[in-house]
Amino acid sequence: MLRLLCFLLPLSALAQAPLRGVVQDSATRQPLPFSSVFLANTTIGVTTNEVGEFTIPRVPAGSYDVVGSYVGYRLSKQTVRVGSQPLPPLTLRLGATGSALGEVVVQAPPHRPEDFQKFTEQFLGRTTFSQQCRITNPGDVVVFVADSTHELLASAKNFVQVENEALGYRVKYFGLRFSYDPQTEASRFEGQPLLEEMTPRDEAQRRLWATNRAAAYAGSLPHFLKSVYDGRVRSSGFLAQQVRLESGGPAGAAATTKLYAAPLPLDSLRRVDADGRVFLRFHHDLQVAYFGEAPDPRYDQPMASLGPDPRPDSRKPAKPWPALRQVSGLRLLTPEVEILPDGSLLDPLAVSVGDYWAFEKLGEFLPLDYEPGMAGTGAAVK
């Protein structure tokens, strides 16, 4: 099997621009000195000065949620798109929260142990890397079962802090909104995470973290989206196939899914407009296989079939697909969504994932400013 190296342009080499602004109390318009401002899903954050002003000198091109945080206040968020030109100054206005001075607040226990265990499993994941993650402030997490829907819901008073010893990141997950449906076994969570680099004990741990981060990136959804953006789907080790839901025929018969084994061409996965912007666009659902890395040994589900060899020439012997693969499902919830140069989506909620990608959760989570380097190595699909 031919093995190719895919060298990805690091974010630091893309266009960058400064980002400036001020953080204020939403009621009084007074500045909030020494508040935190960060770009969600990145390691980029600063503290405001004594008059509430902040400057982030170099922000890589892309779309970001700029988040302001201050103790005793609700988060404030603005979405910006950064190019090569400076943006006008931002004003983040935070609303005060908390009880009145002197008020005594009696709180119930934040969660039952069994509910918190289920939340942890669904939030951190069950992968090998997830087993090396821990929530360091469990008392700040509120987990409960909704009476009406029986869903497991979770939120946090300020943020959920997770230390990922596998990747070397400390994650502060602000504004958590989590739900888990026990009937469908589907979980969903969103918020504004800030990642901080942990300090390695020694050079060996630094190298291990670099290796693990590369492994977490390889075959991930951002890796696939980056390969679609760059037009290198097959050479990056991915195979994208169409999956279609078909009627079950007679009344009452269950619908079935049909896999079209032929690899989808690039123009069936994306649209490029006149300005060079790239949009993820496909019909029905996708099944995406990655051949550059073996599945995590903790993945206990049968890997979906890739179907028969799609080549039309029956005179040639059938060539089986590589045995080591990760197979995931991808569904578009909107007609199309823009892919940004770093492999992220302008609207991350425009897609849902299944199978292997659904298995990988916070344990494999990397910041948007992670630079893959040579992590894009993949086995070309021949």
Question: Hey, where are the domains in the chain?
Answer: 10-94, 113-199, 217-379
Pairing of strands 90-94, 16-25: parallel
Beta bridge partners of 152: 145, 180
* Tokens coding 183: 């009937």
Percent of the chain exceeding pLDDT 70 equals 85
Please give the full DSSP string across 258-274, using - where no structure is assigned.
EEE-SPPPGGGTEEE-T
8 has a pLDDT exceeding 80: no
359 has a pLDDT exceeding 70: yes
Looking at residue 249, its amino acid is: G
* Residue 117 φ/ψ, nearest 5 degrees: -65, -40
Contact between residue 375 and residue 217 where contact means Cβ atoms under 8 Å apart: yes
Among 3-7, 255-259, 340-344, the range scoring the smallest mean pLDDT is 3-7
- The whole-angstrom distance between residue 14's C-alpha and the CA centroid of its chain comes to 21
Cα separations in angstroms, 263 against 182, 224, 260, 305, 322: 34, 14, 8, 14, 14
Task: Quote the CA–CA distance of 138 and 355 in Å, as a whole number.
Answer: 28
Beta bridge partners of 260: 242
- Of 253 and 32, the structure prediction assigns the larger pLDDT to 32
Task: Say which residues have a Cβ less than 8 Å from residue 203's Cβ, sequence separation at least 6.
Answer: none
In this structure, CATH architecture of domain 10-94: Sandwich (2.60)
Q: What is the pLDDT of residues 30-73, one digit of tens each?
A: 999 999 999 999 999 999 999 999 999 988 888 899 999 998 99
Task: Quote the CA–CA distance of 77 and 299 in Å, as a whole number.
Answer: 36
153 has a pLDDT exceeding 70: yes
270 has a pLDDT exceeding 50: yes
Kindly state the average pLDDT of the residues 185-193. Answer: 90
Place of tokens 């958590």: 176
Q: What is the pLDDT of residues 200-244, one digit of tens each?
A: 999 999 999 999 999 999 999 999 999 999 999 999 999 999 999
Cα separations in angstroms, 318 against 202, 287, 313: 50, 21, 9
Instruction: Give the CA diameter of the chain.
Output: 84
Q: What is the pLDDT of residues 98-145, one digit of tens each?
A: 654 444 444 446 678 999 999 999 999 999 999 999 999 999 999 999
Contact between residue 103 and residue 34 where contact means Cβ atoms under 8 Å apart: no
Looking at residue 246, its amino acid is: E
Beta bridge partners of 163: 134, 170
- pLDDT band per the 50, 70, 90 thresholds, residue 314: low
